[in-house]
């Protein structure tokens, strides 16, 4: 009895719409998309407010309060974002360095001038073997047949550029 007095106009439909709204917003956080689940979640919340409200005016006021709270939370979020004041668990603290085991930062200049053999057709990207090490390589646009001997002529970050060895 006391619970029903506290809930007032809350019906089963209101509870279902509220839970659907929460579920859709959580789904939006974990499922990539175009905001469809988030939009449906917000619509579910607004319909829940109007179903629960005693009058249309009360529904409009509660909806305005709902959106004011959402806008306030977004302002706080973007203020924290602009001042780099996020909790440490939300921000990656370590860098991607070779010491930590990230191979993408490896200096590959030692490959300049190396001679290898193409193991898959380069058109212009393919694979080549350099002393038993297979690498992704690219040519300067030319087509290179499998088995052709190539030389490394340029390194651009992790991009290995080869040309046919004359």
Confirm whether pTM is higher than 0.85.
Answer: no
pLDDT of residue 102: 57
pLDDT tens for the chain, 166 residues long, are 445 554 566 788 888 998 999 899 889 888 877 889 989 999 999 999 888 888 889 889 989 998 999 899 889 888 877 777 666 666 666 666 656 655 554 678 888 999 999 999 988 899 999 988 899 999 988 899 999 999 999 998 888 999 998 7
Q: How many CB atoms lie within 10 A of CB 110?
A: 10
Q: Tell which CATH classification among 3.40.50.170, 3.40.50.2300, 1.20.1560.10, 2.40.50.140 matches the domain 104-164.
A: 2.40.50.140
pLDDT of residue 147: 93
| 59, 53 contact by CB (below 8 A) | yes
pLDDT of residue 119: 94
Query: What are the residue boundaries of the structural domains of the chain, listed by start?
Result: 7-88, 104-164
Burial class (CB in 10 A: 0-12, 13-18, 19+), 41: buried
What six digits make up the tokens of 154? Answer: 């340029």
- If DSSP codes are grouped into helix, strand and coil, which group holds residue 70? helix
pLDDT of residue 81: 76
Q: What are φ and ψ of residue 22, in 5° steps?
A: -65, -45
For CA atoms 24, 27, 33, 34, the dihedral sign is: positive
Which residues share a beta bridge with 150? 116, 164
Tell me 144's DSSP state. B
**Inter-axis angle of helices 12-30 and 36-52, nearest 10:** 160
């Amino acid at each position: 009895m006391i619970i029903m007095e506290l809930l007032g106009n809350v019906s089963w439909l209101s509870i279902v719409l509220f839970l659907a709204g929460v579920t859709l917003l959580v789904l939006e956080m974990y499922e990539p998309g175009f905001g469809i689940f988030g939009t449906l979640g917000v619509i579910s919340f607004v319909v829940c407010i109007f179903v629960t409200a005693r009058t249309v005016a009360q529904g409009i006021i509660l909806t305005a309060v709902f959106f004011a709270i959402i806008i306030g939370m977004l302002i706080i979020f973007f203020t924290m974002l602009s001042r780099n004041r996020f909790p440490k668990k939300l921000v990656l603290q370590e860098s991607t360095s070779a010491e930590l085991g990230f191979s993408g930062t490896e200096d590959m200049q030692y490959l300049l001038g190396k001679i290898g053999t193409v193991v898959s057709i380069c058109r212009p990207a393919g694979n080549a073997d350099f002393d038993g090490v297979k690498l992704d390589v690219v040519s300067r646009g030319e087509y290179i047949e499998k088995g052709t001997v190539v030389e490394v002529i340029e390194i651009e970050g992790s991009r290995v550029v080869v040309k046919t060895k004359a």
